[in-house]
Amino acid sequence: MKKFKAAIAAGMAATFLFGCGSASDESVVGISVEKLDEVPEVLETTPDEQEPAEEETVDEDAPPAEGMVRSYFTNKWVDEEINKTRPLAVMYPINKEAQPQYGLSNVAVFYEIMEEGSMSRQMGILEDWAGLDRIGNIRSIRDYFVYAALEYDPVIVHYGGPELYVKTILTRKDVDNLNGVGGVMGSDYSAFFRIPEGSTSEHTAFTDGSHVSAAIDKAGFSLEHRDQFEGEPHFTFTGYSSPNTLEDYKDAVDATEIDMAGCFPVTKSALKYDESEGVYYKTLYGNAQKDALTGEQLSFANIVIQRTYHETRDDNGYLAYQMHDTTRDGYFITKGKMIHVTWEKSDDYGPTTYYDDNGDEVVFNTGRTMIFVIQLKGKSFSTFKVNGTSYAD
């Protein structure tokens, strides 16, 4: 992984001070009449003719303040304490009636993966969460979301899940989770509350930063990253002042409108590129997907479409996705372009790594990342569109 260094460059500007004396028939502004011909040439120079001061230059890759470091997950400048603190992996329902949701502005990496019933679900990797007034609403988890989450060394926040398929992974000693329903898959540690109070219906379970902090302390979980976590940038990032435009790839195609409806037919997830801001804005059900706390629409600097082997487990339609694999296909999208990639993941805590067709690791731009995990070609939900072109392979 890259090690980042930064320096601050400062410009210099010259300042001229002009003094005034008393005028008489013997002098002009303190200069003898007899010596007028000897006036230095600089005084006869108009301001427009003076050499311009050197413009101040700003190194956008330099830390803006003492104690600021690059986020492991976005490469943005954050307080050092944010990097030391484990993120949350929060299970967000994607149902139309569950929108908008709270805490999305603090998402560093966002996942959408299909579940049973032709419906998908989302998981947000939240950093800088301690001060959030509300997080959620929160729903159940599937085991493949756990495997996707572990590489960020998070505390997992969820509201139950199918015990038959989730219990084994959630009850491992190295997996820390806050489970809203309690029981054999982990305690709630008093982390959750309902809005409105007393409700037992879906889409009404929430938490907040203070409840999560207290629950982590009560559970005895580590708030700081553990030994399994590498403590390095999660992706290979480029510098802010030298973005990866994908212009070096001859096979890069235009990618300003991403339509994922063929993979997620209920939510019809989509993104549209804003060239002036250099990010993709996300929609659900044809509407902006926003954070209910801030009103901010979700936006991403990087988009990954990750084709993954999957199976249907039983008559209830529960799915399994193979999150550990090698040389599977995918696509990487940024700055209005898209390239083909392959991906691999060999262990729980190692990051999923993406490679271009030259075999080089893909370089991500500074900012949030959206990861769509979709089915292999030929399956029910495997086709997406980019700028109107269908991709089924």
Kindly report, residue by residue over 54-68, the tens digit of the pLDDT. 555 445 677 778 889
pLDDT at residue 49 tops 80: no
Which of 279, 276, 287, 326 shows the shortest CA–CA distance to 303? Answer: 279
pLDDT confidence of 2, banded at 50, 70, 90?
very low
pLDDT at 217: 98
Task: Flag the least confident range among 61-65, 87-91, 189-193, 367-371.
Answer: 61-65
CA distances from 157 to 12, 108, 267 (A): 52, 16, 22
Report d(CA 160, CA 188) in Å as an integer.
Answer: 10
Task: Grade residue 169 by pLDDT with cuts at 50, 70 and 90.
Answer: very high
Q: 154-157 long-range contacts, Cβ below 8 Å, gap at least 24? A: 154/86, 154/87, 154/88, 154/89, 154/125, 155/86, 155/87, 155/88, 155/89, 155/212, 155/216, 155/221, 156/88, 156/89, 156/91, 157/88, 157/89, 157/90, 157/91, 157/191, 157/207, 157/212
Neighbour count for residue 306 (Cβ, 10 Å): 25
pLDDT of residue 241: 76
**What is residue 376's DSSP assignment?**
P
Q: How far apart are CA 142 and CA 119, in angstroms?
A: 13
Q: In what order do the strands lie in the sheet with 135-136?
A: 135-136, 205-207, 193-194
Instruction: Report the relative pairing of strands 270-274 and 287-288 from DSSP bridges.
Output: unpaired
DSSP characters for 7-29? -----------------BTTEET
* Confidence class for position 213, pLDDT limits 50, 70, 90: very high
Whether 40 shows a pLDDT value over 60: the answer reads no
Q: Which residue has the tokens 């390239």?
A: 339
The pLDDT score that the predictor gives to residue 63 is 76
Q: Identify any residues that bridge with 303 across adjacent strands, giving them in sequence order.
A: 333, 370
DSSP code of residue 59: -
Give percent of the chain above pLDDT 90: 75
281 forms bridges with which residues in the sheet?
272, 299
- pLDDT: which is higher, 231 or 308: 308
Sorted by sequence, the CB contacts under 8 Å of residue 86 that are 6+ apart come out as 153, 154, 155, 222, 223, 224, 225, 226
- 237-264 pLDDT, tens digit each: 997 778 999 999 999 999 999 999 999 9
pLDDT at residue 311, as a whole number: 94
Domains, the chain, ranges and CATH? Answer: 70-219 (3.50.90.10), 236-391 (3.50.90.10)
Its pTM stands at: 0.84
Percent of residues, the chain, with pLDDT higher than 70: 84
H-helix or E-strand containing 110? strand 107-114
Query: Does residue 322 register a pLDDT over 70?
Result: yes
- Looking at residues 354-368, what average pLDDT do you find? 97
